Amino acid sequence: MRIERISNKQGVFTIILFVVGVSSIFTTGIEAGNDLWLSVICSVIFAIPAVAIYARINYLYPGKDLFDILEICFGKILGKIVGLLYVWFAFHLSSLVVRDFGEFYVTVAAPETPMIVPMLFVTLLNIWIIKEGIETIGKFVEIYVPFIIGLIIITVLLLIPQMEIDNLKPLLYNGIKPVLKGAFTDFSFPFGEIVIFTMIFSSIKKKGLSHFKIYFSGLFISGFIILISSTTDLLVLGADRVSEVYFPSYDAVRRLNVGNFIQRMEIVVSVVFLIGGFVKLSVCSLAACKGLTKVFGFKDYRFIVTPVALVKLNLAYLISDSIMDFISWSTHVWKYYAFPFQVVLPVIIVIVAEVKSRKSNLKKT
């Protein structure tokens, strides 16, 4: 057995790339229209209690995964059933990310290529990095995060001449309701998915309160980056255009033009998506493989990586017929489908875990 440990810094960076990666090409929460930036702030505020619950779950049982905690809290059979539900959630999320890769590449860069080609290569790389373990993901992330954040800040600064402040007006024209709807979508798509980290953060080096620190600094930094990038999209393109196109950031950065010299910088968005999406894919598949092996009672997860990744590739290929189908599914169905995994089940788990850990503490003293 290899040692699987990541430092606090690597944990924070993994959360940042996990959240920012895929959201850098899809601007979610566009139901809010002109008030998109307000709904991003609201969704970060909604995410604070949810993330506190995830951190508390990890804090109560240090060194244990969500799947171990489920078995401790609910007993063997019920714990395994809930564990399988979470395995399905992580697995499904990872296959959606693979599909994102395919759709983005085919729509934006190479329309004649069959979609299976980019998805196949991403999956092969993914198999490799998961077999190397979580430490490799941590090092990968540590190298790339400053690079990614720098790229995003530079593009935003260069886009300032194309921005029109009128795109933000009028403020709250339709009332607060669309803002809250957008905040719910924003919560379920990038921020609530942090629940996946409860399944892999048994490998944090330091124990104790550092879980809260990691989760919250990850949430706030990534929330700030998403706020900046979606507000930039809104300022450059306007609310109508953002809701029309599939990849608004790509369209916004395409307009970048500094003195007819620096232009056609779309590749920056592709690089951010490529690296961030790859980290998200690795984290989700790692969670799925670990969960599957834990539920069936194996010690090491590495042997199962390849078949799981291949099933994931198949699922990503058949999950929807076209990009329209895919985008409409992820905007209309995903938020309700993800809600039980992101909020309802963690609340139940944290209540049971509190009661059980208090009881065991009483027995000890």
Contact residues for other proteins, defined by CB under 8 A: 92, 296, 298, 303-304, 306-308, 310-311, 313-315, 317-320, 329, 333, 336-337
DSSP 230-281: HHHHHHHH-HHHHHHSS-HHHHHHHT-EETTTEE--THHHHHHHHHHHHHHH
Measured from the CB atom, the residue of 110 and 318 that comes closer to other proteins is: 318
Pick the closer one to other proteins by CB: 322 or 365: 322
Which candidate, 342, 324, 322, 320, places its Cα nearest to that of 186?
Answer: 342
Strand, coil or helix: 6: strand
For the bound state, the minimum distance from the C-beta of residue 334 to other proteins, rounded and expressed in Å, comes to 9
CB of 314 to other proteins, least distance (A): 4
- Residue 63's alpha-carbon distances to 3, 182, 203, in angstroms, are 13, 36, 7
Q: Which is nearer to other proteins, 117 or 154 (CB)?
A: 117
Which of residues 228 and 319 has its CB atom nearest to other proteins in the complex? Answer: 319
- Residue 6 and residue 4: Cα distance in Å, rounded? 7
* Smallest gap from residue 81 Cβ to other proteins (A): 17
> Whose Cβ is closer to other proteins: residue 198's or residue 330's?
330
Nearest distance in Å: CB 296, other proteins: 7
| Helical axes 116-132 vs 134-158, angle rounded to 10° | 130
**Minimum distance, C-beta of residue 348 to other proteins, in the bound complex (Å):** 17
Give long-range contacts, CB 8 A cutoff, 24+ apart: 304-309.
305/127, 305/130, 305/131, 306/127, 308/91, 309/123, 309/126, 309/127, 309/130, 309/285
> Is the CB of 174 or the CB of 314 nearer to other proteins?
314
In angstroms, what is the minimal distance from the CB of 315 to other proteins? 7
Closest to other proteins by CB, 44 or 309: 309
CB of 326 to other proteins, least distance (A): 9
Long-range CB contact pairs, 171-176, < 8 A, 24+: 171/34, 171/35, 172/35, 172/38, 173/33, 173/34, 174/33
